[in-house]
Structure 1
Amino acid sequence: MLSRTGPKIEQHIPLLQAAYQRNRSTTEHVFTYKSLAKKAITSNNYEFHVLLMALSKDTIYQATLIEDLKRIVEKYEFHIMKILLENIEYTEMRKSFSEPFVTNTGYPQGNSFSAVFFIL
């Protein structure tokens, strides 16, 4: 499912989003910053200004994600993704289930979609 929907979803991920992206790693961003800093330190009259911003929060809002996916993927793909996103009521640990709970934010980590859903 991820290989089928991944290319469609990738088209909607901002270019500034480097995490979990092929050919856009955060390593490249760090390397660029380090190179500019080295140039400024070793050169005369060379200035550069850096603004570091966190453009998103570390939360997945399921309702927003569901609306975004509805626009991006095919109907049958959306149906499967919606099942994975909605009605998460239990956690399982060592073959035991937690007490029931309701959530409208977040997504289970470790799933193949978790990184994709997070950056979308």
Structure 2
Amino acid sequence: MSSHQPRTITPSDLPKAITRYLGAHHAHDTATAVAAFTSDATVTDDGRTYRGAAAIEQWLNRSASEFTYTIELTEAQQTDPTHYVATHHLEGDFPGGVVDLRYQFSLRDDLIERLVIEP
């Protein structure tokens, strides 16, 4: 592992797979969101890991319907050529009502191989 310093970038400089996923997720377009992932991708959210396209699709559908919230991309960072962090500010009817979440992306072949979401 190399110890790259995270570098703050503008959200528009995030790779296409990430912006495609984020845009589709906000629009509740599950098919487009899933298409941004590799077929063997993993997503870890709320301490649970979802592996593969079918599991990720179920997670997206559930997270879209579970709570109502606004989400704003507040910061983007690149830690190395294939690793990015997109920090989002959420406000809504989920427990606590307000949270900043770090979406940590790992890319492979211009697709998302791994996504870890945590505060």
Q: TM-score, normalised by structure 1?
A: 0.24
Answer with 1 or 2: which has the greater Rg.
1
Whichever structure has more strand as a proportion of its residues is 2
Whichever structure has more helix as a proportion of its residues is 1
